Structure 1
Amino acid sequence: MTSTLLTGIGSLVTNDPAHGGPLGLIEDAALVIEGERIAWIGPASAAPDADVRHDVGGRAVLPGFVDSHSHLVFAGDRTREFNARMSGRR
């Protein structure tokens, strides 16, 4: 499995208070990706070796926030409702 090391992370948001504060920020950080998973996070000075290296140039890295919920009342096709709203009707 190929491992990828991201270095040069200005701020890494972990959402783990064990890493400092409620956002779990790690400054001057690095992370290793193996396959489709994050295998390691930490300070850049302690980063392990990897097959591929990318310097992200001081950018912030944070988790992807996905809100994938739905309400049953909104199931199906809502084109009529959309068209009504666009024409000023409710």
Structure 2
Amino acid sequence: MFEIWDEAGQANDLTLPQLQQRLTSYRGEVMVRYTNRIGLPTTLFLTVDQGLAYQRFKADRPLLDWAWLAQAVHATDPGREPMLSYLDAVSR
């Protein structure tokens, strides 16, 4: 699950598809928090422009790699990877 902070405030308990949907219609700076695979809280700082999320503090501001983010998130059910299956379906 993801939390997002933007100029409008905070949203909690977003799934990866909900986060993607929210960012497609957003423009500006956001902070995204989640728990990583080893159980530690992690923060991403993003700049969103025309529905594309760029990593704010990386060299050359690369686009956010959604597949990487999906595998970086701590699985709620260790026996399966629901985020990856969603991304596979979207990319086909």
TM-score by length of 2: 0.23
Which structure ranks higher in relative contact order (CA pairs < 8 Å, sequence separation ≥ 6)? 1
Instruction: Determine which structure has the larger helix proportion and give its number.
Output: 2
Q: Which of structures 1 and 2 has the bigger CA Rg?
A: 1
TM-score by length of 1: 0.24
